[in-house]
Amino acid sequence: MTHATDRQQHSSKGFRKRVVHVVEAFGGGVAAAVRDYVRALPECEHHLVCRLRPEAETLEPEWVEEFASIHRIDGGHMGATKLVRATINTLDPDVVHAHSSYAGVWARAALVGNNTVRCVYTPHAWAFDREDKSNAQRKAYRAVERSLSRRTDVLAGCSRAENQEIRAWGAKLKTVYVPNVAPEIQAQLEKAQITDWNQSHAPLVVGSGRLTMQKDPEWFAKVIAALRAAGHSVRALWVGGGDDQLQAQMEAQDIEVTGWVDPSSVLSHLAQADLYVHTARWEGFPITVLEAAQLGRPMAVRGIRAFDDIGMPLVIQRPEDLVQHWERLKDAQARETIVAEQNAALWENTRSMQRERLAEAYGLELLPTGALGIDLITP
């Protein structure tokens, strides 16, 4: 699929930087992040080379208009690399921004011998952190990433932890932390009030994500089981689907599972959470955490690398750890304090900061508001 808009036809590369985004699977959190990057820098002319995930078809139809062209990958790794190289040769971009592991390989292989294009790479979670892979596979992923780092100009990690890894290798490339941001949330979205929990109010504990090993809904089920075993009455909801057998197991443990729902429904469910618990085994930086924070939901997060060094107030290492915090969490004021501390920890996850950092990664001098007749995001 190739799509062109008037933006491409009426632009000049000499006036606007041209960026080619390479995405191995356009859908879910990566698609949301890439679209945020495009909206953050309307000064640039953005093109997309991608393999579409099935859920991309559920995005609002306007998303294709965000890109000057879209080139769909249908083949395997060799075909993907050839398409990326052909797109680079045709468009002569200023920047190639690769998103996730395989796209990082395709883009950097396609750029061999090309010293004029700035190569920016965002892992959106390192492949060698994947706990669904064997130790041998993870070592191989790490070796490949270390080797490819020499062909990378900028590592634009979506968390500080992503950048820290490559610094530990002694790699000489530039690192820029480009924070993820939450989507715009409707002001009229009804949110649960933060009130004291008592015997007449069983708090709603919410988890979210696909029913996969990465999001680890079984860890969420253990959190709920530990709370109930300690005598605490809680309602439990998992927002997401994808594994019918696992969904049935969770429902048998009195955990409601929504199945797949659209993004607006995810936000509606999150808004009703008395406590959000993020249980993923590994992440780049989770959009759902930012959504919960924007909705003013107190949360507990699993102690994974994505949350290193940002100061989240309630981090748990084991499912049963939440029990020891429960008496404090019953108090509304204590949860209000947690919400305030969350906001302080996530101070960089704003649209203005994302725009500034992405421009740094691209080597772009930001234009003043209104230049090119484009409405830029105000800091």
Residue 241 lies inside a defined structural domain of this protein: yes
The pLDDT mean for the chain works out to 89
Q: What is the CATH number of the domain that holds 305?
A: 3.40.50.2000
The reported pTM is 0.87
Q: What pLDDT, in 10s, does the model give residues 133-153? A: 899 999 999 999 999 999 999
pLDDT in tens, 95-112: 999 999 999 999 999 999
Determine, yes or no, domain membership for 17.
yes
Residue 152 domain flag: yes
| Cα separation, 165 vs 143, whole angstroms | 13
Q: How many domains does the chain have?
A: 2
In order of 29, 32, 59, 66, the CA distances from 62 in angstroms are: 18, 13, 8, 7
Residue 90 lies in a domain: yes
Q: Do residue 164 and residue 313 come from a single domain?
A: no
- 317 domain-assigned: yes
Residues 254 and 314 in one domain: yes
Nearest-angstrom CA–CA distance, 57 and 49: 16
Reported as a pLDDT band with limits 50, 70 and 90, residue 377 is very low
Residue 65, sorted as left (phi over 0), alpha (psi -120 to 50) or beta, turns out to be alpha
pLDDT at 51 over 80: yes
Q: Flag whether 199 is in a domain.
A: no
Higher pLDDT, 171 or 309: 309
Regarding whether 277 and 173 lie in a shared domain, the answer is: no
pLDDT for the residue 195: 86
Q: Give the Cα separation of 257 and 119 in Å (integer).
A: 41
Query: Looking at the domain assignment, is residue 187 inside a domain?
Result: no
Task: Express the helix, strand and coil content of the chain in percent, nearest 5 each.
Answer: 45, 15, 40
Domain that holds residue 282: 204-345
Helix count (H) and strand count (E) of the chain? 13, 13
